[in-house]
Amino acid sequence: MISKLIKEGDRVDLTPVDKNFGSTEDPDTKVYASKIVDILSEDRVELLMPMEKTKLILLPIDGEYNLVVYTDSGLYQCFVRIVDRYKSNNMYLLVAEFTSNLRKYQRREYFRFSCALDMNARNLVEEEVRSIEGDDLVNLQPNLPIKRSVIVDISGGGLRFMSDTKYEVGSMVYCSYDLVKGTERKKYEVVGKVLAVTENEKRPGTYEHRVQYVNMDEYTREEIIRFIFEEERKSRRKG
């Protein structure tokens, strides 16, 4: 039961589901702070209308949000849709309806999304590695040979991919792939450190690599996380 996981007074963060994927000027990238006023049912909660300084933020009816609840036992996450808003006892309130299950959420443990995405990859050259070791933004060299790979899962912290090329554990790898939101496609060029490599028993000569992102800026990371949340939300609706 929801009431066993969350309670009145618990703080929440609401992040709008991305509508303009990849736009740096998209106001929906804001996180709105609120709290639970009442648990109305197993799939609806009453929230305080968010405020920014002294300004009330009127979240729209039918708006969809990623909700994170801060509880005594840790963080929980789900997707919600705003179904009502009103004023009661001098408080401006929202009714949020859950559109996915409430699940345990760890900020440092990113949810991994299973997929099959084409990716190009190569080892970093020495100059690129030196720039990373100096905590600088990596200066990627253009037009170097790349090899095709396939991402089999992706998260805000890294990815897992299959390749006929074996990249050594501890090596730095350039990864280039596209993420699609609706009809919009955006290319991502990231760098990862290889944490583990295993050969596929059913396909000798094919290797699975687990990679952790290195020196990734937080905006890019949040874009990837929002893509994953959106894909998970679509999967839940289909299921």
pTM above 0.85, yes or no: no
pLDDT at 3 over 90: no
| pLDDT at residue number 122 | 96
Query: pLDDT tens digit string along 191-234?
Result: 999 999 999 998 999 999 999 998 888 778 878 887 887 787 77
| pLDDT at residue number 138 | 65
What end-to-end distance do the CA atoms of the chain give, in Å?
Answer: 21
Contact (CB, 8 A) for 172 and 128: yes
Give all domains of the chain, ordered by start, each with its CATH number. 2-105 (2.30.110.10), 113-238 (2.40.10.220)
Query: pLDDT tens digit string along 62-115?
Result: 999 989 898 888 888 888 999 999 999 999 999 999 988 888 775 544 678 899
| Rounded Cα distance, 106 and 124, in Å | 31
